Amino acid sequence: MMCSAPQLPDELWLRVFSLLSWRDKLSLRCTCVHFRQLVDESRSLWRGFSVVLQDLARYDRSFRRSLAQRQVSRVCLRAGRSKDLDRLCSWLPRLHVLRLDGWRDGRLRAQEVKRLHHLHHLSITSCATPLLDLDFLLPLSQQLRQLSLCNVQLTCTAPHLLAGVTQLTRLRSLLLHHDGTLRIPTLSSVLTHLLDLRTLSWTMISHKVLPQDFFSPSTVPAGEASLQLSDLQLLNYDAVVTQDVLKPLANLHSLSVFHLYSVPGPTCHLQTWLTSLPKLASLNVHGGHPLAAYVNFLPASLLSLTLCVDLQPEDLQVVSSRAPHLQHLHLEPWSSSSNLVGLLPQLFPHLQTLAIRHLHVPDNDFLSLHELQHLHTLEILDSFHRPDPNDPSWVVNKPSPRLLQLISDLQKLTNQRVRVITSSHKDFLNCSCV
């Protein structure tokens, strides 16, 4: 005999609800009063939940109450002004993560920001007007752990910018992406003050030759390895560098390089980077020279590799010999993947995660991925199809029937061991540049 919903223990319902996506939870709360109360008042169901808000004046008291009940701690505020931030501080004073996207006021006021006593991650992206200064950061100096400034125009000078950033002495992650107008000769002053910094993402478009002290804190002699930095992202990179410049980065575990030019200059700077980073475990390369130019310099310590570059099948043979323990591979060559996928089970038997394009890949090659005994996640990077070959402009952003059948066959061959992702959902609170 089937029980009605209220006759089952709330703990059991909450266990079931915890397995649902946030969209399903929102749909579920509309089915009955009991479920609405359970969903809204169970904070554990909404842990890590993010919400996008715009034009805050249109949200009624019921909506605001539901956000407060769920203790929403991650918010993206779009096209906001000071009055909107003031409202947000009143609604959700326990915010942990805040993204201001398309901020429309030239000044952020410290008296509003300081009300967010629990804020540890602040991201400001694509401001509609230039920011006058970064003085609003002062009240956050002892609490902020992550700061992202992307596509933000500043009327203040580079020294003023550095003064505002370097007062955040507990910062562990810093992202600064700009159009090249900020002229900051070295990162030494940043690294001198931010001793806890672990992740740095920096636009390199204004740097042509990296000076000797570029990565050296001023309190340590140039060339000595002293930084705790473990993750470095270089955006629009094409700078000349020497091994001496890179000595402070000896502890680096992850390097991501997004090259400035698709047709690079005569020198492959990646060779210098790879020979200077003995502990490198993760490498992400986007653009620049073909893989053949630096494949022989890959360190044996590599466990994760992303390649969005020009490459050939023989290059993967070299990768296999240079990095025999590779566990994570994102393969997105500029040319077709049709002759590459079939090689992967033999070349990289330890793969746990794999991201590939499937278009033009033979069915047998795709299904051969079941031979990867440690594979648990497969991401398809081109999950779209054109239903009518006579109309190439008609694109459906869903997996084709052929792809769905291939996925089903692969999962049967692996006894459902492999999870296949056909649509990636990037965290909207993060920068879209990388």
pLDDT per residue over 239-290, tens digit each?
999 999 999 998 899 999 999 876 677 889 999 999 999 899 999 999 999 9
At residue 284, the pLDDT reads: 98
CA distances to 141, 215, 251, 323 from 222, rounded to whole Å, are: 28, 8, 15, 31
Q: Do 259 and 234 contact (CB within 8 A), yes or no?
A: no
User: Does 391 map to a domain?
Assistant: yes
Report the amino acid identity of residue 265: G
Q: Considering the chain, what percentage of its residues have pLDDT values greater than 70?
A: 96
| 3 pLDDT higher than 70 | no
**φ, ψ for residue 218, nearest 5 deg:** -65, -20
Question: 161 with 182: CB under 8 angstroms?
Answer: yes
How far is residue 166's CA from residue 279's CA, in Å, rounded to a whole number?
27
Residue 250 lies in a domain: no
Residue 107 falls inside a structural domain: no
Residue 279 near residue 252, CB atoms below 8 Å: yes
Report the DSSP pairing between strands 50-54 and 74-78: parallel
Band the pLDDT of 219: cuts 50, 70, 90: low
- Look at residues 189, 190, 209 and name the one whose alpha carbon lies nearest to residue 199: 190
For β-strands 199-203 and 173-177, DSSP reports them as: parallel
Domain count, the chain: 1
Instruction: Round to whole Å and give the CA distance between 77 and 46.
Output: 19
Q: What is the DSSP letter of 108?
A: -
Residue whose pair of structure tokens reads 């590599």 in the numeric block = 302
Residue 425: pLDDT above 80? no
pLDDT for the residue numbered 306 = 98
Mean pLDDT of 386-399: 87
CA within 13 Å, CB half, 176: 21
Which of 127, 128, 66, 140 lies closest to 97, judged by CA? Answer: 140
Residue count of the chain, please give it: 434
- Tokens matching residue 152: 């933000």
Please report which confidence band the pLDDT of residue 220 belongs to, taking 50, 70 and 90 as the band edges: low
Cα separation, 143 vs 161, in Å, equals: 19
From the number of C-beta atoms within 10 Å of its C-beta (0-12, 13-18, 19+), residue 410 rates as buried
What pLDDT, on the 0 to 100 scale, is given for residue 8? 77
Express each pLDDT in 73-121 by its tens digit: 899 999 999 899 999 998 998 899 999 999 988 778 888 888 899 999 9
Q: Which amino acid is at 295?
A: V
* Residue 392 pLDDT > 90: no
Question: Averaged over 138-158, what is the pLDDT?
Answer: 90
CA 250 to chain CA centroid, nearest Å? 23
Q: What are phi and psi of 346, to 5 degrees?
A: -80, -35
pLDDT tens string 331-379: 999 988 889 999 999 999 999 999 999 989 999 999 999 999 999 999 9
For residue 4, pLDDT beyond 90: no
Q: Would you say residue 136 lies in a domain?
A: no
Mean pLDDT, rounded, of the chain: 89
In this structure, of 158-162, 230-234, 304-308, 379-383, the range with the lowest mean pLDDT score is 158-162
Give pLDDT, residue 159: 86
Write down the pLDDT at residue 231: 97
Q: Does residue 22 carry a pLDDT above 80?
A: no
Amino acid at 413: L
On whether residue 87 sits in a domain, the answer given is no
Q: Looking at the domain assignment, is residue 25 inside a domain?
A: no
**Whole-number pLDDT of residue 1:** 42
3-state secondary structure of 428: coil
CA distance 295 to 372: 23
**How do residues 157-212 score in pLDDT, each as one tens digit?**
888 888 889 999 999 999 999 887 788 888 988 898 998 999 999 999 988 999 99
In this structure, what DSSP letter does residue 141 have? T
3-state secondary structure (DSSP) of residue 76: strand
Asked if residue 398 is part of any domain, the answer here is yes
Which pLDDT score is estimated for 120?
Answer: 95
Write out the two tokens for 82: 């000071």
Judge whether 208 lies within some domain.
Answer: no
Q: Residue 406: which domain range?
A: 336-422
Rounded to two decimals, what is the model's pTM? 0.88
Q: What is the pLDDT of residue 320?
A: 97
Query: For residue 310, how far is the Cα from the chain centroid?
Result: 23
SS (H, E, C) 167-224: CCCCCCEEEEECCCCCCCCCCHHHHHHCCCCCEEEEECCCCCECCCCCCCCCCCCCCC
